[in-house]
């Protein structure tokens, strides 16, 4: 069983690389951002808190993130291992996590801030099927329309320059 952490700024390509590793090694990709978005879309109490925080361009507290990660890992659906994306973000979170899990490797992706900003401003997601696009490198055939299901492509509310700069 393999346990990996993938780290880097938002928009650095963590999710893309994690998905490649997931496919290659039959790992479960655990994305803190995806868990946040699921809670927001499902209108949970936690989702409402996360939405208020992220729409203000702020980072979700360590306590909330730690609780989410702990709950997700307790599902034990990762027989061959997992790749954790978006956690830990700082030393206190790393200490919390390493007390409970032996990690095989940490992958750190470094991308210049300017490139991260441009990537994040160009991100789009299908409102129907959830497929990710980027207007720089993974463009839809028709602007604003998902190639797979025809759904509308939307920009995340927190993908604006002031919120991005605050998160960097």
Domain range for 128 is 112-168
Residue 122 and residue 136: Cα distance in Å, rounded?
Answer: 6
Residues 91 and 135 in one domain: no
CB 62 within 8 A of CB 52: no
Phi, psi (rounded to 5 degrees) for 153: -90, 130
pLDDT band for position 162 (cuts 50, 70, 90): confident
**Number of compact structural domains in the chain:** 2
Interval 35-53 mean pLDDT: 92
Q: Return the ∠ at Cα 135 (arms to 123 and 83), rounded to 5°.
A: 45
3-state secondary structure of 136: coil
Lowest-pLDDT range, 6-10, 34-38, 101-105, 156-160? 156-160
Encode pLDDT of 80-99 as tens digits: 899 999 888 888 888 878 88
Residues 20 and 100 in one domain: yes
Nearest to 1 by CA among 97, 104, 108: 104
Residues 106 and 78 in one domain: yes
Q: Which residues are catalytic?
A: 14, 89, 123, 156, 167
The distance from CA 54 to its chain's CA centroid, rounded to whole angstroms, is 13
Burial class, 83, CB count within 10 angstroms (exposed 0-12 / middle 13-18 / buried 19+) = buried
Residues 41 and 89 in one domain: yes
Helices (H), the chain: 14-25, 32-41, 45-55, 62-73, 91-98, 113-121, 161-167
Residues 98 and 163 in one domain: no
């Amino acid at each position: 069983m393999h346990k990996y952490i993938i780290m880097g700024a938002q928009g650095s390509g963590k999710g893309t690389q994690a998905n490649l590793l997931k496919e290659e090694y039959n790992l479960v990709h655990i994305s803190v951002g995806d868990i946040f978005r699921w809670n927001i879309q499902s209108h949970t109490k936690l989702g409402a808190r996360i939405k208020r925080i992220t729409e203000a361009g702020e980072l979700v507290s360590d306590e909330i993130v730690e609780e989410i990660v702990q709950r997700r890992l307790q599902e034990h659906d990762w027989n061959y291992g997992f790749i954790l994306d978006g956690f830990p973000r700082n030393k206190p979170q790393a200490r919390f996590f390493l007390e409970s899990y032996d990690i095989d490797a940490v992958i750190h992706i470094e991308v210049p801030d300017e490139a991260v900003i441009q990537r994040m401003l160009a991100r789009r997601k299908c409102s129907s099927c959830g497929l990710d696009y980027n207007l720089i490198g993974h463009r839809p055939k028709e602007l604003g329309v998902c190639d797979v299901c025809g759904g509308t492509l939307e920009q995340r509310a927190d993908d604006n320059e002031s919120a991005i700069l605050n998160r960097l």
